[in-house]
Structure 1
Amino acid sequence: MSIRLQAGDTAPDFTLDDADGKPVSLADHRGRKVIVYFYPAAGTPGCTKEACDFRDNLTDLDGAGIDVLGISPDSPEKLAKFRDAEGLTFPLLADPDKAVLEAWGAYGEKKLYGKTVTGVIRSTFLVGEDGTIEDAKYNVKATGHVDKLRRDWKI
């Protein structure tokens, strides 16, 4: 079983390449809250719904002082195609070796259509201004996810 982060834990720091191959660090966002969300694969139906949901709510999230970072095991090239196809305006980060996914507990065994498989566990975290996890959600649903976060976090 992989680790599970929870509120009060220090968020594992990372530096990953974005869709343009430029390094982005969690530490770059200190002083603002950050939603870090992990998704299985760019361009798939569920991941597209989730990313577009964040895109469509980005103005409100930004107004609440919250940045958004999406992380998947995809290559920067695949992320660039996904970003451009869907008009995404927040950073998509590549974690092809899955080290960050594992450090955040977002990679491991999960149930898929009744079978146990190993893969990306769709997860979302709210990281506070000081780098502490304020909330951790594992096995989230792609559809309606941002509305649920906004209700839960009163955004």
Structure 2
Amino acid sequence: MFPLMMSPWLIILMKNFIKQIPHEITESGKIDGAGDMTIFVQLILPMIKPALATIGLFLALGYWNEWYQSSLFLTAKVTVKPLQYTLYEIVNKLDALRNSVAGQYVTLTDIPEQSVKMANAVLATGPIVLLYPFVQKYFIGGITVGAVKG
């Protein structure tokens, strides 16, 4: 289960972000008498919120766009399927309909192939576009962490 939760890229991203936090912050916490857990929760964790938001967004995008594992493990008997897999099935069925009609002497020119693909794109990107404004404040905070206050 753990390998599905993280990827090496996200671990490297978090490691490099934590390396940028000055060591003096943990030293000042130790001088004040705080324990390791207090230092992490009260000093380090607020500073790494932008990295956690970035990793959370990357994981959310990865799981949201996941359709391949669904196609491997789900059978036809399953009634509830992920949205991305359902959209993939719609496009495949539309292609199969177009190919089956093209082989016969029936003219069917009104198959809305591009319209269906564009509607699928809107359905697929809609929730992520709605999620991004809530995570955006952490990205801006991550940009300004190392900035010089003037």
TM-score interval w.r.t. the shorter chain? under 0.3
The structure carrying a bigger helix percent of its residues is 2
The structure carrying a bigger strand percent of its residues is 1
* Structure showing greater relative contact order (alpha-carbon pairs closer than 8 Å, 6 or more residues apart): 1
Normalised to the residue count of structure 2, the TM-score between the two structures is 0.22
Q: Which entry has the higher C-alpha Rg, 1 or 2? A: 2
